[in-house]
Structure 1
Amino acid sequence: MRKTTLGATAAIAVLAGLIAAGPAPAAPATTPTATVTPTASARQQVAKTASVHGKARISYIESLDDDIRFTIDAVQKPFSRTWPGNASGRMATDAWGTLKFSHTTPSGAGGWAEAEVDCLVTSGRTATLTAVVTKSNVEEVGARLGISVQQGAEGEPDRLGFSWGVANIDPGSVDEKGDLVRPQAGTCMAPAPFTTVIKGGFKVVHADIRKSPAQPGAASRRG
């Protein structure tokens, strides 16, 4: 560490001179001005973008011997999509990326799907996202799937939930065979993360939802 060479006597003399001089003169042009910088937390909030990344194998109570895997790469890009029928046309939770899953039974039979992420919302270590199927041997192309992810903490495992695993039924909707029809998940809608990750894991980055931009004529519509 560099030590000062100014002795105590000199320091007192300088201080006395400053006190006796009366009001401080204007700072010379060469004196650097103080720069106000954002706090670390403020910079962090500005820089953060909500996202979920990772791949994992899960343990699902209905298929304990099956190999079920998910790969997620999702990034929130607010107000970047056009939604027909939506007043603003875009949403703060708009997102882009990919979702992939595969489900293989001990006999070798398997199902898989690839989907395009369209919505993502986060809260701490938890996130929900939806993705629209683009390719699959078990899902209908165009169907929206809901996924939830919870990143584990303090040694706890990560967890994941998926809309076709539990709960997502409409008791009043049946097909020609009389079977219940599973409704499509709404944007960012998914059940709680009810399965446990047994291999791999996910990284959730949280960012607060942004305020929607003002819409032209919004005040007049409110009356």
Structure 2
Amino acid sequence: MRTTAIGATAAMAVIAGLVAAAPASADLTESVERKPAKAASVHGQARISYIESIDDDIRFTIRAEQRPFTRPVLPIAPEGLSTDARGTLTFSHTAPSGESGWAEAQVDCLVTSGRTATLTAVVTKSNVEDVGTRLGISVQQAGKGEPARLGFSWGVVNIAPEHVDENGQPMRPQTGTCMAPASFTTVITGGFEVVHAELMKSPAQTEGASRRG
């Protein structure tokens, strides 16, 4: 099963502080100041209703927490990014025929705003996705009179002529960190809790401002 655009082939592709006491120092002060009062996070599990696979059992489980400046993977950001995150994403998709797909992935990015969150995770195990594929997920926590919602990057977005192979089948374009569509599906059982936290200033900017002061 390969992920494709919306249509007949899309169905199975969906699958789915305490700081220890220590002598005061400038370095310790700066370290403490960089720690957010709370960490942005998303936790929960849910079954969703997807219009292209209305009779299928599609479930997501998310446990993600922001860990700013912990993934120094780019020369332009040697200390990492404020959206760095860790955690797990799992999903499964079972059709009425019994055919099923599933995947497990490690969260690498998370950003929040109020009741909404966008995260990405890199596949580590799956029977339908390539290991190393980055997946984008958006979540909206249920509100007063509103159900929870979820969106996924491989269902309805990033399909263009240049992303079609020689057989006319859509290819999976690369998903960047924290990239995902709006939450376009409805949660029918379960739900998600989103904890919002403002993004932190990078250590380099903080240290530069301190020196100028």
TM (norm. structure 2) is 0.77
Q: Specify every segment of 5 or more residues in structure 1 that has no aligned partner in the other structure, as ranges.
A: 1-44
Quote the residue 2:111 is aligned against.
121
1:194 paired with 2:194, answer no
What's the offset of the Cα at 1:218?
A: 7.7
- The letter of the residue matching 1:141 is V
| CA 1:89–1:176: 2 relative to 1, 3 Å | farther
Tell me: CA distance 1:178–1:152, structure 2 relative to 1, closer, same or farther (3 Å).
same
What do the CA deviations read for 1:104-127 (whole angstroms, capped 9, x no partner)? 000100000000000000000000
Call closer, same or farther: CA 1:178–1:86 in 2, change over 3 Å: farther
Matched, 1:173 2:149: no
Cα distance in 2 for partners of 1:178, 1:165 equals 17
| 1:112 is the counterpart of 2:102 | yes
Name whichever of 167-176 and 85-94 sits farther off.
167-176
Q: Report matched runs for 1:94-113 at 5 Å.
A: 94-113=84-103
Residue pairs, 1:121-160, within 5 angstroms: 121-160=111-150
Structure possessing the higher relative contact order (Cα contacts under 8 Å, 6 or more residues apart) = 2
**Percent of aligned pairs with the same residue?**
72
Residue 69 of structure 1 and its aligned partner are, at CA, apart by 0.1
CA distance in structure 2 between the aligned counterparts of 1:67 and 1:157, rounded to whole angstroms: 18
Contact 1:58/1:69 (<8 A) preserved: yes
Number of residue-to-residue matches in the alignment: 175
Shift of 1:152: 1.4
Residues in 1 aligned to 2:49 and 2:119: alpha-carbon distance in whole angstroms: 20
What is the deviation of 1:170? Answer: 4.0
User: For residues 166-206 of structure 1, what are the alpha-carbon distances to aligned partners after superposition, in whole Å with 9 as ceiling and x for unaligned?
Assistant: 01224213334342312121100000000000000000000
8 Å CA contact retained: 1:170, 1:182: no
- CA separation in 2, counterparts of 1:205 and 1:186? 23
SS in 2 for 1:200: strand
Matches within 5 A, 1:1-223: 46-214=36-204
Please identify the structure whose Cα radius of gyration is greater: 1
Q: Distance in 1 between matches of 2:36 and 2:123?
A: 32
Cα RMSD for the two superposed structures: 2.1
On the 8 A contact 1:170/1:183 being kept in 2, the answer is: no
Preserved contact between residue 87 and residue 106 of structure 2 (Cα < 8 Å): yes
How far does residue 55 in structure 1 lie from its aligned partner after superposition?
Answer: 0.2
Task: Report the 3-state secondary structure (helix = DSSP H, G, I; strand = E; otherwise coil) of the residue aligned with 1:214.
Answer: helix
The TM-score with structure 1 as length reference comes to 0.74
Equivalents in 1 of 2:192, 2:114: separation in Å? 13
